[in-house]
Amino acid sequence: MDSIRFSDFVLQRRTRQLSRALQIIPIGARAFDLLDLLITHRDRVVGRDEIMAAVWPGAVVGENNLNVQVANLRKVLGGDAILTVPGRGLRFGLEVGQAGALDLPDRPSVVVLPFTELGGDPDLAWFTDGFVEDITTELSRFRDLFVVARNSAFVYRHGPRDLRAISRELGVRYAVEGSVRATTDRVRVTAQLIDATTGGHVWAESFDRELTAHFDTQARVARAVVTCLAPQIDRAEAERIRITPPENLTARGLALSGWSAISAGDMAYDRSARDKADGLARQALSLDPASGLAWRVLAWVAWWHVYHATTASVPETLAEGIAAATRAIAADPTDHHARRIRALLHFMQQNADAGLPELRQAHEMNPNCAVTLAWLGLYEGFHGDADRGVALAEAALRRSPRDPARGSLLAALGFAHFAVRNYAAAAEAADAALAEASGSATPLILAAIAWVGAGRIDRASVAFERVRAIAPTLVEARLAGRWLTSNADYLARAHTFFRIAAGLAPPEAADALR
């Protein structure tokens, strides 16, 4: 057995460490060997000669050395842990069992294991541990994740790692491993995500940066790792839950399944993904009426129903969405997703004064969330600092270059470009978004107005016909003048350009607006 539990202690043979409540208890090598020996032969008395031969092999030492180690162990474990049998030897006095596996939490769980230092400048060896600490801290900003504390992770600093054993010992599904090579002018960090329950590889990425101010570089790279890593955990969880029978899901599992469904089908005009997410969230609430995640799902469902015009009453759906987001925030005031969604619903209500401050707050709460960053870029372009809008949306893509929601991120970038009249860049972003999410209505809406802005009415008309075939109700809503913002300049351009793409207004109507 690699891990032995007795009382509230765990002896870890593989790492040669003693822990209590996942905290390492420092004991010397001789004390560890003595304790291991007594536990191994706990069914009998171990003679002093046998102990001396096992703990001090080949050495001639006095019995006082043994007495010192026994005293040290009794100080740590309690006086009844090591029993002295007069004239015969020592015996272990506590009940022993194999360390049981901890149950997995009801949310995605992850441990960031110590990274490997690959050489480079020896004076920068300390840098490696700093990355692990920063990545652990930044991951903890994602409230949907259970993240194991740094001290528990560092138990596994030395020796070979059995990820399945780590999963059982810490009660986690995912493990992050990596390496760091730092020189005087550059640092290269490689990180990989492993499903520790199976050993399956989920994701890997390398990050190269110039090494300027050490701590600034460390923080920037850690944030970049986390921004890429978190969506990969979400995607892995979505796939795992997809194949889990609904009857085996807890309230949180049902809510998480709903979140995965709405996130995967967010830009789709077909309402089936929203209906599925709605049903799962309501099942979760029937089991746990206080489930913040389930309320968040309902808020996000409401937003997309309003966006796609797949609701009979926009005002009623907006009110229900804001109420659901508010319930989610009440359940967890640190839920940046719920704050982002409530902000977007406020924008839908034409209330930018409420939406922009809350969206900024959501970003401040978790600057590692690329989706929040992309939306902030879009709405800064509409209602805040327009010059920052494109830069923020671009930063979202740079921070999470393989994000499963990349199509949405690209669309946000395109609308941010449109806000500042960079129509060619907006059209380019629309094409890139379509490549990520072919057949999605959102990039086609963007393409229609962007190509009119760029003077390519032919391409705008093609985009319009495609989106009309996919999302006729959405097209009808846009032609009626219902867009995502109350920004008068944007509304005038978007509405006129879309009518031109539809052939309902002459191309020269765009000239005064471009």
Q: Report the pLDDT value the prediction gives residue 120, as an integer from 0 to 100.
A: 62
Looking at residue 190, which CATH number applies to its domain?
3.40.50.10610
Which of 40, 72, 98 is at the close of a domain? 98
For residues 260 and 296, the answer to whether their CB atoms sit within 8 Å is: no
pLDDT digits (tens, 9 = 90+) for 378-419: 999 889 888 899 999 998 888 777 777 889 999 999 999 999
Q: Report the pLDDT value the prediction gives residue 124, as an integer from 0 to 100.
A: 62
Give domain status of residue 161, yes or no.
yes
The pLDDT of 115-136, averaged and rounded, is: 77
Name the residue with higher pLDDT: 402 or 300: 300
Q: What is the residue range of 228's domain?
A: 109-242
Give domain status of residue 130, yes or no.
yes
Count of domains forming the chain: 2
Cα–chain-centroid distance for residue 50?
Answer: 52
105 DSSP 8-state letter: P
Which of 98, 117, 133 is at the close of a domain? 98
The pLDDT of 286-297, averaged and rounded, is: 94
Question: What are the backbone dihedrals phi and psi of residue 117, each rounded to the nearest 5 degrees, phi first?
Answer: -90, 120
Q: Out of 191-195, 213-217, 496-500, give the one with best mean pLDDT.
A: 496-500
Name the residue with higher pLDDT: 129 or 470: 470
- Whether residue 114 sits in one domain with residue 93: no
Which of 65, 98, 131 is at the close of a domain? 98
Looking at residue 87, which CATH number applies to its domain?
1.10.10.10
pLDDT digits (tens, 9 = 90+) for 218-227: 888 888 888 8
- Whether residue 116 sits in one domain with residue 94: no
- Whether residue 51 sits in one domain with residue 27: yes
- Whether residue 115 sits in one domain with residue 93: no
Token pair of 238 as six digits: 């979505």
pTM: 0.70
Token pair of 396 as six digits: 């979202």
User: Average model confidence (pLDDT) for the chain?
Assistant: 88
- Whether residue 127 sits in one domain with residue 91: no
Give domain status of residue 333, yes or no.
no
For residues 421 and 440, the answer to whether their CB atoms sit within 8 Å is: no
- Whether residue 124 sits in one domain with residue 84: no
- Whether residue 157 sits in one domain with residue 58: no
- Flag whether pLDDT at 207 surpasses 80: yes
User: What gap in Å lies between CA 434 and CA 431, rounded to an integer?
Assistant: 5
Give domain status of residue 228, yes or no.
yes
Give domain status of residue 250, yes or no.
no
pLDDT digits (tens, 9 = 90+) for 52-62: 999 998 887 77
For residues 174 and 202, the answer to whether their CB atoms sit within 8 Å is: yes
